[in-house]
Amino acid sequence: MLKIKNYASWAKALLLFTMLLLGACQKHDFALQSSEIVFTKDVSNVAQWYNSQLISTAADTGFASLNKPDWTKTTVKQVGGTSTFTTPVYTNGAISRDVIIELTGEVYTGVVKEYKKVDKYFTTVHVYSINGKPIEEGYINATNNYHVTKTWQKNPMGSTLRVMDIGSEPGSGGSSAEDDAAARFFTNTEAQPVSETISISTDLLPDPNKRNRRYIWTFAKGATYNLESTEHAIQSRLSATAPWTFDSLTHFSDGLTHSLITGGTFSYHIVDANATVGTYNAIMNIKFNTISTFNVRSVPTTVTSADINSAKVWNVNDPDTK
């Protein structure tokens, strides 16, 4: 054991220990950890595979020639047995591109995704092969959901695709004003379920202890339209002093209102309208989808939404609207 006889000796020993500790820490800082070594090796292999897919061209104007991968900014995501490597390759104003390469086992596949931020509500997306052949078009809406509007080919991963100059084939080299208009149209026709009362009215019947009531409400809204529904109810009571109760609630009609839709066609389909009737409350649940069609590069493109549910609760004592 080291014996410290005085404070001076103790201070020197502490200084020596601190210097040794610092040296060890500095050496540790510059030493790659095993996970970092694996990641660096993986990125190197990904870069090697990417370069092997490029088809040479005499002119320096091909799609892939403009893409310059920055492998130092590669990010990796592991899901199951697949590693996804995302690397920025191109930026020009509102347009940016990433090369996205997946590694499953020993098999590599890859595409280039181009994003154009049209405004704060949506971004157009174009997917290309490594060498620039168009594969898919779509857009990201305000809720960060991706919708496909056009597909060119199902299997984009072949390596025999020719290099194309920017703009030499529909869908290559950036989105057009027509693409932006399509993305805006599909965003504006997306439906959001709501539950807003429009009116309540009562029809008097010869029997003073029975009445018909009409409920009109908005069950969905888009940026440029409303979807409204009308329900009919029969209510009864045992006597003039007894409370009213629900006998039934049925879906009567529905329609598109306040429409400002332009540039394409829009429709909706009621999948089901089911009522749940209690003594003093009744619920109408409407399941529906929407169908939007817009000409993208002279080709009609249709987007059909998933089924959407919207519900409204009515109380037997809800007063008539004025």
Contact between residue 74 and residue 85 where contact means Cβ atoms under 8 Å apart:
yes
Element (H, E) at 228: strand 225-236
Q: Give pTM, 2 decimals.
A: 0.52
| pLDDT confidence tier of residue 156, bands split at 50, 70 and 90 | very low
Q: CB count, 10 Å around CB of 97?
A: 23
Longest Cα–Cα distance in the chain? 113
- H-state helical runs in 167-273: 177-188
| pLDDT confidence tier of residue 26, bands split at 50, 70 and 90 | very low
Q: Locate the domains of the chain by residue range.
A: 41-188, 192-315
Q: Which range scores top for mean pLDDT: 133-142, 212-221, 257-266? A: 212-221
| pLDDT confidence tier of residue 246, bands split at 50, 70 and 90 | very high
pLDDT over 80 (residue 170): no
Q: Mean pLDDT over residues 253-258, rounded? A: 92
Q: Mean pLDDT over residues 186-206, rounded? A: 91
Q: Mean pLDDT over residues 263-274, rounded? A: 93
Query: What's the burial of 51, exposed, middle or buried (CB within 10 Å: 0-12/13-18/19+)?
Result: exposed
| pLDDT confidence tier of residue 172, bands split at 50, 70 and 90 | very low
CA 270, distance to chain mean position in Å, is 24
Predicted local confidence at residue 126, as pLDDT: 86
Q: Which residue has the tokens 């809800």?
A: 318
pLDDT over 80 (residue 108): yes
State the Cα–Cα distance between residues 294 and 263, nearest whole angstrom.
7
Q: Is 157 left (phi over 0), alpha (psi -120 to 50) or beta?
A: alpha
| pLDDT confidence tier of residue 118, bands split at 50, 70 and 90 | confident
- Give the percent of the chain with pLDDT over 90: 39
Predicted local confidence at residue 305, as pLDDT: 86
- Give the percent of the chain with pLDDT over 70: 75
Q: Which range scores top for mean pLDDT: 12-26, 67-81, 174-188, 268-282? A: 268-282
| Secondary structure (3-state) at 55 | coil
Q: Is 41 left (phi over 0), alpha (psi -120 to 50) or beta?
A: alpha
Cα dihedral angle (261, 266, 270, 276), rounded to 10 degrees?
Answer: -20
State the Cα–Cα distance between residues 96 and 67, nearest whole angstrom.
10
| pLDDT confidence tier of residue 25, bands split at 50, 70 and 90 | very low
Pairing of strands 107-117, 95-104: antiparallel
Please state the φ and ψ torsions of residue 289, each to the nearest 5 degrees. Answer: -140, 170
Predicted local confidence at residue 239, as pLDDT: 94
